[in-house]
């Protein structure tokens, strides 16, 4: 699913030459760059509700939710890949960061199962087990700067699709470098716009 639509792309591109014959190409580019932007930032820019995702704990008492992020958490269970899955009570996990991100989401869980002590003194580390998390996921709306970043990628494709490829004009051939903006990749302008969203 694209993070922008063709109308938005045309508005930003401001290119009268991109008539309706480019609709199919615009759809392909918007979908591809939307996916690339989500992969690059490891963020979930569109909402999906009442969905369960499985995660593999690496220990340390936390569950990293990437590439997803929660808006509302409704249930957590562990050992869900065994015959004895166990649901955790609401006092046995905590969604973090506590005040949410500025986009209203949580990025990881902290907690431990029943019988291991009361938060925050328990020693359980959730080490190498499958944890299933149910809730509402993703940002409710696509941030304006993310939309602009996708549009910048589409614009860069049309302006610079040849990139550093070799060119030929009659008997004359040459190769021109473009400082890593080689048409198909996320351009530097988009990367600058996306810096606040990149998950470290």
Q: What is the pLDDT of residue 36?
A: 96
pLDDT over 80 (residue 27): yes
Six-digit token string for 85? 């899955």
Q: What is the pLDDT of residue 86?
A: 86
DSSP assignment string, 89-156:
PTTSEEEESTT--TTS-B-EEEE--TTS-STTS-----EEEEEEEEEEES-SS--HHHHHHHHHHHHH
Whole-number Å distance between alpha carbons of 2 and 21: 19
Q: Which residues contact 16 (CB under 8 A, 6 or more apart)?
A: none
The domain spans of the chain are 6-43+142-161+177-197, 48-137
Q: What is the pLDDT of residue 62?
A: 82
**Are 142 and 45 contacting, i.e. CB atoms less than 8 angstroms apart?**
yes
Q: What is the pLDDT of residue 56?
A: 87
State the average pLDDT for the chain: 81
Q: What is the pLDDT of residue 34?
A: 97
66 or 117, greater pLDDT: 66
Q: Which residues contact 39 (CB under 8 A, 6 or more apart)?
A: 67
pLDDT tens-digit readout, 71-128 = 999 999 988 998 989 888 877 888 999 999 999 999 999 875 544 444 343 435 556 7
Six-digit token string for 167? 């060119």
pLDDT band at 192 (very low <50, low <70, confident <90, very high): very high
pLDDT tens-digit readout, 154-183 = 988 888 765 434 444 444 444 444 444 455
pLDDT band at 43 (very low <50, low <70, confident <90, very high): very high
34 or 78, greater pLDDT: 34
Which of 17-26, 108-117, 140-149, 152-161 is least confident?
108-117
């Amino acid at each position: 699913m694209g993070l922008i639509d063709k109308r938005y792309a045309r508005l930003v591109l401001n290119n009268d030459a991109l008539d309706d014959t480019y609709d199919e190409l615009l759809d392909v580019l918007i979908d591809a760059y939307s996916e690339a932007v989500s992969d690059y930032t490891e963020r979930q820019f569109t909402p999906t509700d009442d969905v369960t995702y499985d995660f593999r704990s690496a220990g340390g008492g936390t569950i990293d939710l990437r590439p997803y992020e929660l808006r509302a958490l409704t249930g957590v269970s562990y050992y869900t890949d065994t015959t004895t899955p166990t649901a955790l009570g609401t006092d046995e996990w905590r969604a973090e960061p506590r005040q949410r991100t500025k986009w209203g989401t949580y990025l990881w869980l902290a907690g431990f199962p029943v019988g291991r002590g009361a938060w925050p003194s328990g020693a359980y580390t959730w080490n190498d087990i499958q944890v299933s998390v149910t809730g509402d996921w993703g940002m409710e709306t696509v941030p304006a700067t993310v939309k602009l970043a996708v549009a910048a990628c589409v614009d860069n494709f049309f302006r610079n699709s040849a990139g550093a490829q070799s060119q030929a004009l009659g008997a004359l051939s040459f190769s021109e470098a473009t400082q890593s903006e080689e048409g198909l990749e996320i351009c530097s302008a988009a990367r600058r716009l996306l810096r606040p969203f990149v998950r470290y």
